[in-house]
Amino acid sequence: MRAVHLASSAVAVTLVVGAVAIAGGSVARAQTPKPAPLELTGDASVRPWKRYSGWPARDESKWSTLAKLGSPAAPKEPIKITGPITGDAAKGEKLVADRTRGGSCLACHVMGPAGGANLPGNVGPDLSEIGSAGREDEWLYNYVYDARVYNAETVMPPWGGHGVFSDGEIRDMVAFLKTLKSPARFKTALDDPNKRPAPVEKRDNLDSLENPGMWAVDKGEELWKKRTSEGFSCNTCHSDPKARFKTWASTMPKWEPRLGKVLGVEEFIARHAAATTGAKWLMETDENRVLSVYLHNLANGAPIKVDTDSAPAKAAIARGKALTERKIGELNFACTDCHGKSANHWIRGQWLAEMKGMYDHFPTWRTSLLAVWDIRQRFQWCQVNIRADELPPDAPEYGDLELYLASLNEGLKLSVPGIRH
């Protein structure tokens, strides 16, 4: 009894202090609301950052990431090939379909018989008749080894340059390519990436029968009122969140001068909770995720409208754009290789989305994983998947990237939690 009593009187005192401060502020300068208290020291996610369990454990530290450059430069000259290439075409046919080597060539190319039931993609040209296209062996070898020697803008990974395939393996694949002389034949229209229909999301993401992620909204609402051991809840100071935060999440992320970085909803939750309720709801904890879903959900229907005009926001957006163009990881992809140049194509069985439409439904429910992903976890997967080391979720680079992405999605209405495969 005594402990409860003490806790509630502490709340009452703070409420009075808070009310006075806010009222005073609004009388003096109605246009400049008091900035929200934030824990300004320390990290908003676990350090050292530890990759999620179940994700590939490869160490990709020697390649470029969104935070550092490290990958070798593109070759200046093609490797000289003397005499015809005589590899093992049967081995080559297996190698082009080997998904353990960065997704296989079929991820992007139809390749005659090797296409089969592999759901080939169409980011690259159909190579079913490359064997009669009059290509020199040296050209084929170097295109596979490191295509940048012929095309600085290529999206094809430097298979040889980054050591994914050995010299002998590349020769085997070239030998196979040289056997390809007749148009691809597909068993079903689905096997042909040019006929495969683009996926259309028909499920109603705001129907809790269709989207199990709606459960996170209820959890978030519960958590809003749950008092910490210090006796505070979000509700202590914000007792009408539905009215107060009707648009807030649609204005995030934003440049935060006190931290010198772009702050997203999830990092805000971690730092504001620590400063007000004492809760340690670091990014990517269950509590942080459900509160992020809840705060976004409150702003559903509000069009995304972020600060793109202030000088620091403009600079952050420019940095974010540059990051989407940076080649990273062993497979040497930039975000724009997949979501720009190759958008609206198939990479293997996966449809590549454009950057507009990629943001308004986050955090989103992943039906294939039975989990809610926030935008930072999605960023992380799009790096680990191309064999690049991800950054901790509160990395300033992700802030820049997120603000740039939000700016491209301005005007789209929030609809959270989304639902995705």
Contacts with ligand HEC by CB under 6 A lie at 14, 18, 33-34, 36-37, 96, 105, 107-109, 123-125, 130, 135, 140, 143-144, 147, 151, 154-156, 159, 173, 177, 232, 234, 236-238, 245, 248, 269, 272-273, 276-277, 291, 295, 324, 333, 335, 337-339, 347, 350-353, 358, 364, 378-379, 382-383, 386, 401, 420
Q: Decide whether 1 or 31 has the Cβ nearer to ligand HEC.
A: 31
Question: Shortest distance, CB of residue 108 to ligand HEC, whole angstroms?
Answer: 3
For tokens 């969104």, the residue is 66
208 burial type by CB count under 10 A (0-12 exposed, 13-18 middle, 19+ buried): middle
- Decide: 172 and 114 in contact? Cβ < 8 Å: no
In the bound complex, what is the minimum distance in angstroms from residue 72's beta carbon to ligand HEC? 18
Identity of the residue numbered 126: D
Closest CA to 65 of 262, 405, 334: 334
Measured between alpha carbons, how far is 170 from 198 in angstroms, rounded to an integer? Answer: 33
Distance between CA 114 and CA 110 in Å, rounded? 8
CB-based contact 120:109 (threshold 8 Å):
yes
Instruction: Output 268-276 pairs: Cβ under 8 A, ≥24 positions apart.
Output: 268/36, 268/38, 269/295, 270/39, 270/44, 270/45, 270/394, 271/38, 271/39, 271/40, 271/44, 272/36, 272/37, 272/38, 272/39, 273/234, 274/39, 275/37, 275/38, 275/39, 276/37, 276/232, 276/234, 276/237
Rank residues 191 and 419 by Cβ distance to ligand HEC and give the closer one: 419
CA 377, 378, 380: angle at the middle one, nearest 5? 60
**Exposure of 16 by Cβ count < 10 A (0-12 exposed, 13-18 middle, 19+ buried)?**
exposed
- Answer whether 110's CB lies under 8 Å from 184's CB: yes
Q: How far is the CB of 309 from ligand HEC (least distance, A)?
A: 17
Report d(CA 299, CA 244) in Å as an integer: 10
Q: Which of 309, 307, 305, 314 is nearest to 249 (CA)?
A: 305
Whichever of 192 and 406 has its CB closer to ligand HEC, that residue is: 406
C-beta of 1 vs 77, nearer to ligand HEC: 77
Q: In the bound complex, what is the minimum distance in angstroms from residue 268's beta carbon to ligand HEC?
A: 7
Nearer to ligand HEC, 44 or 234 (CB): 234
To ligand HEC, the closest distance from the beta carbon of 253 in angstroms equals 10
The residue among 143 and 255 lying less far from ligand HEC, judged by its C-beta, is 143
Q: How far is the CB of 411 from ligand HEC (least distance, A)?
A: 16
Give the type of residue at 49.
Answer: W
- To ligand HEC, the closest distance from the beta carbon of 105 in angstroms equals 3
337 or 394, CB closer to ligand HEC? Answer: 337
* Residue 28 near residue 249 (C-beta atoms within 8 A): no
Nearest to ligand HEC of 188, 368 (CB atom):
368
Smaller CB separation from ligand HEC, 1 or 23? 23
Q: Which two tokens stand for residue 72?
A: 């070798």
Of the candidates 165, 198, 230, the residue with the CA atom closest to the CA atom of residue 10: 230
What is the closest distance, in whole angstroms, from the C-beta atom of residue 181 to ligand HEC in the complex? Answer: 14
Q: How far is the CB of 5 from ligand HEC (least distance, A)?
A: 19
Closest distance to ligand HEC from the beta carbon of 60 (Å): 14
Q: Which is nearer to ligand HEC, 358 or 403 (CB)?
A: 358
Residues 6+ positions from 153 with CB-CB distance below 8 Å: none
